[in-house]
Amino acid sequence: MTNTENTRKTILSGIQPTNTPHLGNYLGATKNWVDMQASYDCVCFVADLHAITVRQDPAKLRAQTRQTYALLMAMGMDADKSILFVQSHNHHHAELNWVLSCFTQFGELSRMTQFKDKSSKGEDSMNAGLFTYPTLQAADILLYQADLVPVGADQKQHLELSRNIAVRFNNAYSPTLVVPEPHIPKAVGKIMSLSEPTKKMSKSDDNPNASVSVLDERDVIIRKFKRAVTDSEAQICYREEDEAKAGINNLLSIYAAVTGKAVAEAEAEFAGRGYGEFKEAVGAAVADVFEPVQREYARLIEDKAHLDACMKSGAQRAMRISGKTLAKVYRKVGLLSIDN
């Protein structure tokens, strides 16, 4: 390793393999992982252990795990340069989770809004894993001594908890765990639903028109954007905090992010033009970005042996780093080691 590599900071992030990633996952998270590879050591994974907090069809989960992994590569994650793996292939995550659960307060977990949202939807599906989900997320992050965690805005509270757990552990013993910073993109940290623009775009939305999947075909993408809910003002302008403008704000943010333009530039480009034309242009711009990803994905998913070899090597490289942190943590808390 050269000196420059030694001084590089580490970023870490994960995505659940529940359904195909959507435009929100892409703009809020995965696109940034890809872009940040050039200047950071990057550890990224498919969070399959998190996915089983909700009952999954086993065969489907296995297929989606490989699919999500292939999609990350198709988006530009470099499995040689970065560490790209599947969470359950590294048992250190589950092990550190246990130790950190002894450093997480019941009250802290009860206050997590994602838990409160999910639990309010039905008592039957409630399980302890759903409750302790954020502690596993803290283990994911702290195992790699990550400096920055690129995520969407919905993960902010989980990141706060990870920081609190790290600080609590360090205070109880001595500095052991790096306290991570969230990295949330300002404009696209929360991409909204196309059909209800005051709600975030979500994989679990029952309405297929609410979100755009990375694997949607071009005409499907354009059709969904054409149907996007806006307002009756007929003005393509960005007005932050104005709920009536939520639809247009969302579309302008998406257009700016996928074309690399500033929002003001996008406003100028569409000044005086109709919503129909604008929505179609946003759809076309999104389809242009997803087209090469889809082509590369189609190629990668055919080569199962290559994907599995990448997953295996990714997990081995991940374990070399996480093993060191886990050993330190075990020693600090007083677990007896029989390795020399």
Interacting residues toward ligand TYM by CB under 6 A: 12-16, 24-25, 28-29, 47, 50, 137, 140-141, 149, 151-152, 154-155, 189-191, 200-201
User: Is 200 annotated as catalytic?
Assistant: yes
Catalytic residue among 31, 190, 200, 279: 200
8 class by beta-carbon count within 10 Å (0-12 exposed, 13-18 middle, 19+ buried): middle
Contacts of 257 (CB under 8 A, 6+ apart): 27, 31, 187, 188
Location of structure tokens 């599906």: 125
User: Is 118 annotated as catalytic?
Assistant: yes
Closest C-alpha to 34, from 296, 211, 305, 299: 296
Q: Which is nearer to ligand TYM, 70 or 149 (CB)?
A: 149
Shortest Cβ 337–ligand TYM spacing (Å):
27
Distances (CA, A) of 81 to 43, 90, 220, 309: 10, 19, 34, 15
List the 41-46 sheet strands across, edge first.
Answer: 83-86, 41-46, 10-15, 148-150, 181-183
Shortest Cβ 274–ligand TYM spacing (Å):
27
Shortest Cβ 134–ligand TYM spacing (Å):
8
Shortest Cβ 257–ligand TYM spacing (Å):
10
Catalytic residue among 203, 226, 324, 328: 203
Closest C-alpha to 112, from 155, 62, 79: 155
Shortest Cβ 20–ligand TYM spacing (Å):
11
Rounded to whole angstroms, how far apart are CA atoms 237 and 228? 16
Rounded to whole angstroms, how far apart are CA atoms 115 and 133? 9
Closest C-alpha to 323, from 339, 307, 310: 339
271 class by beta-carbon count within 10 Å (0-12 exposed, 13-18 middle, 19+ buried): exposed
Tell me the two tokens of residue 132. Answer: 């302790």
Instruction: Count Cβ atoms below 10 Å from residue 110 Cβ, excluding itself.
Output: 11
Catalytic residue among 118, 190, 224, 245: 118
Tell me which residue has its CB nearest to ligand TYM: 28
Q: Which is nearer to ligand TYM, 114 or 269 (CB)?
A: 114
Shortest Cβ 12–ligand TYM spacing (Å):
6
> Which sequence positions are flagged as catalytic?
118, 200, 203
